[in-house]
Amino acid sequence: MPEFCKTEREGRLFIVTINRPDVMNSLHPMANAELEKAFDEFAEDPELWVAIVTGAGDKAFSAGNDLKFQASMPAGQRPQHPKKGFGGITARFDLNKPLIAAVNGVAMGGGFEIALACDIIIASETAIFALPEPRVGLAALAGGVHRLPRMIPLKKAMGMMLTGRRVSAQEGKELGFVTEVAKPAELMKEARRWAGLILECSPMSVRATKEAAMKGLHFASAEEAMKGTYPAVQAMIGSQDFVEGPRAFAEKRPPQWKGR
């Protein structure tokens, strides 16, 4: 059984909870390895369509890298992150299934990078975001320095990254990297609501949309992006859901999605 994370299944929904509340859900190599396995399970199971990641307790989503653990390592050594990145997620570029971050408190450094790697961020009113690595002689190299400037205006991102300053949930929403702010007691309910809205849609269409949107960002123009080739789009066109959606609409009934 995993020691540093918990997983739950609720129908098509998969919930991953970082479970090191005694150290603000910071991650060491063992926790990273467990999270990578958890997200592997989500990625590989055709019955799971949406995932939520959150932190145990009410203080922290994740404070990022466990610096105390790192400091205890022999000189010259550094923690090795899994192949799929910090938290088993920041370098998982081939996942077309949607991810929701339910940020229940502090999301610092690698914790913020985990949230940025998700498609939707639902933040508690008490959530705090920062990339404070320069303050401890490091840099946010698990995607933070690249994802944040792609999500919010460059000067705003640089202001955060070069100072390591802390940003509230409300400011994060105003800047544009937070999707929704919820009261602390309502956070998971709100995250599940968003997951439910996604689950009303065809999973084939959702994956095609995510893949086209994310890979399309690699192109210099919308015209080039629209001419790109996206395997998930081809899979959607050849799926049963592609037939079921228009048929259900014409018959005025809820669609019965198959995910294939």
The model's pLDDT over 8-67, given as tens digits with 9 standing for 90+, comes to: 999 999 999 999 999 999 999 999 999 999 999 999 999 999 999 999 999 999 999 998
Q: Rounded mean pLDDT of 158-172? A: 98
**Taking residues 202-216, what's their average pLDDT?**
98
Active site residues: 113, 133
Res 1: pLDDT: 78
- Name the pTM for this structure: 0.95
Give, rounded to a whole angstrom, the gap between the first and last alpha carbons of the chain.
Answer: 31
Res 231 pLDDT > 90 = yes
> Do 32 and 88 form a contact (C-beta atoms < 8 A)?
yes
Structural domains of the chain sorted by starting position, each given as residue range(s) with its CATH number in brackets: 5-199 (3.90.226.10), 203-250 (1.10.12)
**Which has the minimum average pLDDT: 37-51, 72-86, 202-216?**
72-86
- What residues contact 171, with CB distance under 8 A and at least 6 apart? none
| Residue 82 binned pLDDT confidence (cut-offs 50, 70, 90) | confident
The answer to whether residues 24 and 63 touch, using CB atoms and an 8 Å cutoff, is: yes
For strand 128-130 and strand 167-168, is the pairing parallel, antiparallel, or unpaired?
A: antiparallel
Across 142-171, b (16+ Cβ under 10 Å) vs e yields bbbbebbbeebeeebbeebbeebeebbbee
Token pair, residue 128, equals 């705090």
Is the pLDDT reported for residue 75 higher than 90? no
Helix (H, G, I), strand (E, B) or coil at 102: strand
Total residue count of the chain as it appears in this document: 260
What confidence score (pLDDT) does residue 238 get?
97
User: pLDDT band for position 69 (50/70/90)?
Assistant: confident
Answer for the pair 89, 101: CB distance below 8 angstroms, yes or no.
Answer: no
